[in-house]
Amino acid sequence: DAGVIQSPRHEVTEMGQEVTLRCKPISGHNSLFWYRQTMMRGLELLIYFNNNVPIDDSGMPEDRFSAKMPNASFSTLKIQPSEPRDSAVYFCASSLWAGRSQNTEAFFGQGTRLTVV
Amino acid sequence: AQKITQTQPGMFVQEKEAVTLDCTYDTSDPSYGLFWYKQPSSGEMIFLIYQGSYDQQNATEGRYSLNFQKARKSANLVISASQLGDSAMYFCAMRATGNQFYFGTGTSLTVIP
């Protein structure tokens, strides 16, 4: 398996523009997580999905952020409009979730480094 | 509430020595998993080792071992025979019945030649 695939790897955009980050999880994984990493705030969970259904989006900073998972093999994180404070590395991770089982690790993508100028 | 605490922002270790990175956790769930990840300067997150709450023995993976003390709610990572390539950020994480992973703030490890 190719692992979790994120695109683009780097994105530079102007303030006010729409940004879409993409993620392809590992085949067979039924949980998907979006994280944001900054020096100031560390690794923050933005939202996660189980079986394509959003379970907890309490980490989404504001309405400018939205995430979708239309099928088991694809998810997007959209920021509209983008602001300089959104600059960060955004990670997508996937995992196998089987009810009460907590013994499967999350596999991370390479991340998307977003810079909003 | 679920919480992971890493109190060492930075650590230094001499090459070939062992080092312990601290991690404490808080959860009321009886069943949970504890994980350690490594993030080198290149940025990727690499899974290192896992410990289940019901596991009787401490987990080991090569030079990595997890010192699990359930009563103290600690899950320290021990790296033996440190190598220059071990210089990285290390994150402790917990997964409980809510499915999501809770991460600590990380410890930056520098291996000195």
DSSP per-residue codes, A62-91: STTEEEEEEETTEEEEEESS--GGG-EEEE
Nearest-CA distance B33 → chain A (Å): 5
Q: Which amino acid type is present at position A57?
A: D
Closest residue to A102, CB basis, from B96, B103, B106: B96
Determine, for residues A110 and B44 on separate chains, whether the beta-carbon distance falls below 8 Å: yes
Q: Which two tokens stand for residue A54?
A: 């959003």
Instruction: Quote the CA–CA distance of B109 and B81 in Å, as a whole number.
Output: 14
Determine, for residues B105 and A56 on separate chains, whether the beta-carbon distance falls below 8 Å: no
pLDDT in tens, chain A (117 residues): 689 999 999 999 999 999 999 999 999 999 999 999 998 888 999 999 999 999 999 999 889 999 999 999 999 999 999 999 999 999 999 998 866 656 789 999 999 999 999
Give the pLDDT confidence score for residue A95 in this predicted structure.
Answer: 93
Chain A environment of B97 (Cβ under 8 Å) = 100, 102
Nearest-CA distance B44 → chain A (Å): 5
- Is any Cβ of chain B less than 8 angstroms from the Cβ of A102? yes
Nearest-CA distance A14 → chain B (Å): 24
Determine, for residues B106 and A42 on separate chains, whether the beta-carbon distance falls below 8 Å: yes
Query: For B27-73, what is each residue's pLDDT tens digit?
Result: 998 889 999 999 999 999 999 999 999 998 999 999 999 999 999 99
Give the pLDDT confidence score for residue B23 in this predicted structure.
Answer: 98
Chain A environment of B47 (Cβ under 8 Å) = 105-107
How buried is residue A94: exposed, middle or buried, by Cβ count under 10 Å (0-12/13-18/19+)? buried
Instruction: Quote the CA–CA distance of A74 and A47 in Å, as a whole number.
Output: 15
Locus of tokens 């071992």: B65
Measured from the Cβ of residue A17, the count of other Cβ atoms closer than 10 Å reads 13
Instruction: Quote the CA–CA distance of B59 and B55 in Å, as a whole number.
Output: 8
Phi (first) and psi of residue B84, to 5 degrees: -60, -35
Asked if the peptide bond before residue A61 counts as cis, ω within 30 degrees of 0, the response is no
Considering only CA atoms, which of B75, B70, B72, B82 is closest in space to residue B31?
A: B70
- Is any Cβ of chain A less than 8 angstroms from the Cβ of B25? no
Chain B environment of A108 (Cβ under 8 Å) = 37, 44-45
Closest residue to B95, CB basis, from A102, A108, A110: A102
Instruction: Quote the CA–CA distance of B90 and B102 in Å, as a whole number.
Output: 14
Do residues A37 and A43 lie in contact, with contact meaning Cβ atoms separated by under 8 Å?
A: yes
- Is any Cβ of chain B less than 8 angstroms from the Cβ of A74? no
Considering only CA atoms, which of B7, B8, B4, B16 is closest in space to residue B109?
A: B8
